[in-house]
Chain A
Amino acid sequence: MVQYLALAFVAAFTAALVLAVLGIFAFLRPKRPNPTKLSPYECGVAAVTDAHDHRFSVRYYLLAVLFVVFDVETVFLFPWAVMYHHLALFGLIEMVIFLVILLVGYVYVWKRGALSWA
C-alpha cells in the first residue's frame, strides 16, 4: 500500500508543480487577445464551419470496437502468464485453446474485411 502511496505522491507533486507554474506565470505573460488570434486555425482564412458543428466520420470505428474485444482478451493473459509456472502443461493447453478461439475470431474479422477500412 505504501508503494502505491509513493506513486500517488509523485503524481500529486507533479500536478502541483505544473499548476503552480501555470498560475505564477499567468501574471507575467502577456495577454492581448483579439478575435483573429482566438479563432481556430484554418490556414489563413476564416472558417466557414465549426469543428464541433460536424459529425466527423470515424471510419475505423469497427476496428475500435474490435480492439476493445481483443484488448479484454489480453487482460486474461496477464494472470495466466504469472501463474504459468504453477499450471504447467494444463496451463499451456488451456491457453492454446483460448488463443485458438481468439485466432478464429481474428481470421473471421479479417476475412469479412473489417481490417481493411481505408
Chain B
Amino acid sequence: MSPAVFDAVAMGVKIAVVWGAVLALGVPVLTWAERRVAGLIQDRPGPNRVGPMGFFQPLADAVKFFMKEDVVPQYADKVLHFAAPLIVFIPALSTFSVLPFGRSIPVTVGGTTREVPLVIADVNVGALVLFALTSLGVYGIVLAGWSSNSKYSLLGGLRSSAQIISYELAMGFAAVGVFLSAGSLRLQTIVEAQHAGIWNVVPQFVGCVIFVVAAFAETNRLPFDLAEADSELVGGFHTEYSSFRFGMFFMAEYANMVAASALIVTLYLGGWSLPGLALTGLVGGLLSVAIFAAKTAFLLFVFLWVRWTLPRFRYDQLMALGWKVFVPLSLLHLFYVAALVAVRAKA
C-alpha cells in the first residue's frame, strides 16, 4: 500500500471516528446527561420515560426536531434566517478536526509499521484555526437575531456581540501564555510539551481560570447565556426558530461545549497525557484517547454543574468583568509567563 493511499485511508477512518463520536455519541449523551445531572442537583428524577434512565430521550428529541413544523416569520430575512443556524452548526463540528484526541497508534500494513497521529488535520497553526472557527459561531447568532425581525431576537443578537467583545481579548491574552511556553501554535506540540514537562495549569493557573471563564462565555452557557436568557428575552436569538433549525442551534451548543472542554484539556490539562505514563505503542495510543476522553468528560460535567449553580450575569456586568478585570489580569499574566519562560530558558 502506497503511503498516500495509507494516509487517505487513515484520514477517512479518523474523520469517521471523530465525527461519529461527537455527533452520534457526544452530543446526544451530553443532552441526556445535562438533564440527568440537573435532576441529580435539583433533587428530582430528570427524564426517565424513554428507555432505561431516559437514555433514549435524545432520540425522541431528534425525531421531534425532524418532524415539527418549521415556522419562518413572515417578515424575516429568509436567506439569512436560513443561513444563520448553518453558520453556527458547521464550524461547531469542524473544530474537532484540529484537536489532537490522542498520541498516536502504530498501524502495521503489509509488513511496514507506521505511527498514525491521532488528529485529523495536524496543522501547525491549529490553535489559530480553532479560535477562528469558534468565533465564527457568533456571526450565526447575531445574524439569527437580526434576520428574525423580532425585537427579542434582535436584543439577543446584540447581547451576543456584546458578549464576544467582552471575553475574546482576555481569552486571547491567556492563550498566548500557553503558546509562549510551548513555542508553537500546533496543538499536538503543546500537548507534547506538557507531556514532557508539567501541565500548563500549574504554572499558568490564572491564565487557565481566565480561559475557562471565557470558554463558558464562548459557549453561551450559564452564567453567560445572555443571548438566550429565556426569562428576559424569551429565548433571545432563537425565539423565532423552530424544528430542525432550532435543533441545529441546540446541537451546536453542545458540540461547542465538547470542543471547549477538549480545548481546555489540550491547552492546560495536558491533553491526552498523564504524568508517569509513556503512552507508546498500540495500548498506549488507545489509552491516551481514553485519558483525553475522560478529562473532557470531567470538564463537561463541570459545565453542567456550573449551569445549575450560578445565576446569570447582566450583560454590562459581563463587559465590566471582561474589560476591567480580565483584560488587565491577563496582560499581567502574560508578562509573568514571558518572564517565567525567559528564566527557564536561562536555566
Binding site for B on A (CB under 8 A): 2-4, 6-7, 9-11, 13-15, 18-19, 21-22, 25-26, 28-33, 35, 37-43, 47, 50-52, 56, 58, 60, 63-64, 67, 70-71, 74, 77-78, 81-82, 84-85, 88-89, 92, 95-96, 99, 102-103, 106, 110, 115-118
Contacts and interface: CB of A to CB of B under 8 A. Distances in A.
Interface stretch (B206-214, B291-299, B319-327): B319-327
B323 A40 contact: no
B173 A77 contact: yes
A63 B180 CA distance: 28
B342 to A, nearest CB: 5
18 contacts: A3-B123, A10-B97, A11-B90, A11-B93, A32-B69, A33-B71, A37-B71, A40-B76, A40-B149, A40-B240, A41-B152, A47-B151, A51-B148, A63-B319, A78-B179, A99-B331, A102-B331, A110-B324
A6 B149 contact: no
A115 B324 contact: yes
A28 B94 contact: no
Contacts of A82: 179, 183-185
Contact of B121 (A4, A102, A110): A4
A39 B154 contact: no
A31 B120 CA distance: 40
A74 B169 contact: yes
A87 to B, nearest CB: 10
Contacts of A19: 86
Q: Chain B interface mostly helix, strand, loop or mixed?
A: helix
A13 B328 CA distance: 41
B67 interface: yes
A20 B66 CA distance: 12
B345 interface: yes
Given A11-B90, A14-B94, A29 B149 contact: no
A64 B341 CA distance: 33
Interface of B: 7, 11, 15, 19, 66-76, 86, 89-91, 93-94, 96-98, 120-123, 128-129, 148-154, 158, 161-162, 165, 168-169, 172-173, 176, 179-180, 183-185, 234, 239-240, 243-245, 248, 316, 319-320, 323-324, 327-328, 331, 334-335, 338-339, 341-342, 345
A3 B187 CA distance: 14
Given A64-B165, A67-B169, A99-B331, A28 B66 contact: yes
Given A3-B121, A11-B94, A96-B338, 8 more contacts: A10-B19, A25-B244, A26-B70, A40-B149, A41-B150, A51-B151, A56-B154, A77-B172
Given A10-B97, A52-B75, A117 B316 contact: yes
The interface centre, meaning the residue of B19, B94, B173, B185 with most chain A CB atoms within 10 A of its CB, is B94
B69 A74 contact: no
Given A3-B122, A42-B151, A84 B338 contact: yes
Contacts of A18: 86, 89-90, 248
A108 to B, nearest CB: 13
Given A21-B244, A25-B244, A6 B335 contact: no
Contacts of B93: 10-11, 14
